[in-house]
Amino acid sequence: MVPTKEEFETLRENFMEDPWFCSRRQDCSCDDPADLEYDNTRVWVMDKPNIPKPPPETERLVIMRRDFTKMDTYYVMPNGKRARCAGDVDKFLEAFPEYKDRISTSDFNFAPPKIVEETVSHNPSWIAAKAKKQDKADASSAQK
């Protein structure tokens, strides 16, 4: 397991150029048993590689929706407000121009991790949300 959020963010930021292998840690071997076993007793997500580390004085938050259908990505800005998209970052920089030399809109990536469907497909909330989404799609295609 990666011990800190900061270390995880560094690994994720550089994953394509410098993939992580268990043999990189001196106190770890690829033959060691896993800390977590992949199964459907918990929800698993797949994060995208090469997402930049959050800019200084910001924090990246990823929150799963209650119905397990998707995740939302936010950044907590230095003023404590949450940015949900690049437009929110632009508004922050307009309101606080002193951060323009340290923060750029391109430093942010709002791509959410993808929920591994097989790990939530047994959950009643997910089943109901999936059925509702399918009903909307069916109604939309029937109108055409």
Domain boundaries, the chain: 5-138
- Per-residue pLDDT band for 128 (boundaries 50, 70, 90) equals confident
pLDDT digits (tens, 9 = 90+) for 46-91: 888 889 999 999 999 999 998 888 899 999 999 999 999 999 999 9
Identify the CATH class of 5-138: alpha beta
Q: What letters, b where the CB count within 10 A reaches 16 and e where it falls short, cover 14-48? A: eeeeeeeeeeeeeeeeeeeeeeeeeeeeeebeeee
pLDDT digits (tens, 9 = 90+) for 16-28: 888 777 777 777 7
pTM more than 0.95: no
